[in-house]
Amino acid sequence: MKKYLLITILFFLTCAKTNAQGKAETAVAQATENLRKAMVDADSIMLDKLTSPKLSYGHSGGHIDDKAEFIQKIVSGRSDFVTLEFPDPVISFSKNIAIVRHKFNAVTNDNGKPGEVHLAVLLIWQKQHGYWKLLARQAVKVQ
């Protein structure tokens, strides 16, 4: 009888944990999609909402933006995304941290100059006051 009770409790605990991870993964995926859309739309309000005050936004060329510089570049058109895709996302968790790796494919019009970008990106999201906030991002060029 004790074995049956223990197995039942373990089953329910596993289901609860899986369900919680599923909800967290859905929330992080949605935050990542909201970030992508806000970057295309140059939506300063949404970019501000989605990013941590301590944002460290690393570019593939080595430059690192803080939150204000990241938002300003997008809103000003210095970084202008005509189209932007984040394919092949992989999400993992460590407590209140979510790690998202994805590809980054964009058609750009930075300062009026057309171009294309193909990167691999690492996003670090942190749950802050019940919301997922982008804490860090690092990009590398892909061949």
Domains identified in the chain, total number: 1
Contact (CB, 8 A) for 91 and 99: yes
Give me the domain span that covers residue 46. Answer: 2-141
Q: Please name which of 134, 65, 130, 137 lies closest in space to residue 101, comparing C-alpha atoms.
A: 137
For 9-40, write each residue's pLDDT tens digit: 555 555 444 445 589 999 999 999 999 999 99
Amino acid identity, position 28 = V
Q: Please name which of 106, 108, 90 lies closest in space to residue 98, comparing C-alpha atoms.
A: 90
CATH of the domain at 114: 3.10.450.50
With a CB cutoff of 8 Å and minimum separation 6, the contacts of 99 are 91, 92, 93, 122, 123, 124, 125
For 46-100, write each residue's pLDDT tens digit: 999 999 999 999 999 999 999 999 999 999 999 999 999 999 999 999 999 999 9
